[in-house]
Amino acid sequence: MTESFANILVRQEGRVGVVQLNRPQALNALNSALMAELVAALQAFDADEGVGCIVITGSEKAFAAGADIKQMASASVVEMMDSPFIGYWDAVEAIRKPVIAAVSGYCFGGGCELAMICDLIVASDTAVFGQPEINLGIIPGAGGTQRLTRAVGKSVAMDMILSGRRINAQEALQFGLVSRVFPAASFQEDALKVAAEIASKAPVALRVAKEAVNRAYASSLAEGVLFERRAFNLLFATEDQKEGMAAFVEKRAPTWQGR
């Protein structure tokens, strides 16, 4: 990626594309400029055949302390309705390759909603999650009331959203919000190892698997299972399915073609 950005740092490690949120002066608060850059970088990685998995991360101190309060503070209802701002979260959701949120430090409000839009969250043991919007006289606006409830269940979600309760990494693991917690000292390497593992898998199957799991949130069980069945059968039209099964039978590692 040759584009240069003011609010994010972008790099590629092997088949992993890494986007690091980089507004340290505001604990990575998410403003329009940052979100536009984030979406542009994600879309570029999504279109790049050399990338199999994408990581969104922040600093050691903050993944993101929420949407930028200073940018929103004086907005009117019509300005909020007309603003493309919340649509950036939808654009992140539309990325087809696996996206991992690697969370260290504060992960609040729109930051927590950004992490939850990713396909999985891995956390440093320093991570703290919260939806503190109630303290500002508002509610989560980028999917928090819906995705947090699906992730941790009604009681914990209500607790966090109504009281502003923060939860630490171990609690987030216990409640099912994050999939793995790593020690702070090795967090960046550990998170990248998870991404590299995913990036090494068959690219078409990864995209289809992501679609199928997300379908669980958007359909009845019967419709979701039908979707899965169609998608499963479809993969038998790919060279990678033939290669994957041949490699198993021949006791060798597969070489994926992404088709």
- Please identify every residue annotated as catalytic: 67, 110, 113, 133
- Tell me if 58 contacts ligand CAA by CB under 6 A: no
- Tell me if 66 contacts ligand CAA by CB under 6 A: yes
- Tell me if 140 contacts ligand CAA by CB under 6 A: yes
Binding-site string for ligand CAA from residue 203 to residue 222, where x marks contact by CB under 6 A and - marks none: --------------------
Mention every residue, 6+ apart, whose C-beta is less than 8 A from residue 117.
89, 92, 93, 142, 143, 147
d(Cα 176, Cα 7) in Å, to the nearest integer?
30
Nearest CA to 121 out of 95, 102, 142 is that of 102
- Tell me if 37 contacts ligand CAA by CB under 6 A: no
CB closer to ligand CAA, 16 vs 56: 56
Sheet holding 53-57, edge to edge: 8-13, 16-21, 53-57, 99-103, 120-124, 180-182
- Tell me if 108 contacts ligand CAA by CB under 6 A: yes
Q: How many CB atoms lie within 10 A of CB 164?
A: 15
Which two tokens mark 90? Answer: 């939808």
CB closer to ligand CAA, 142 vs 178: 142
Residues at the contact surface with ligand CAA, assessed by CB under 6 A: 26-27, 29, 65-70, 106, 108-110, 113, 132-133, 136, 140-142, 144
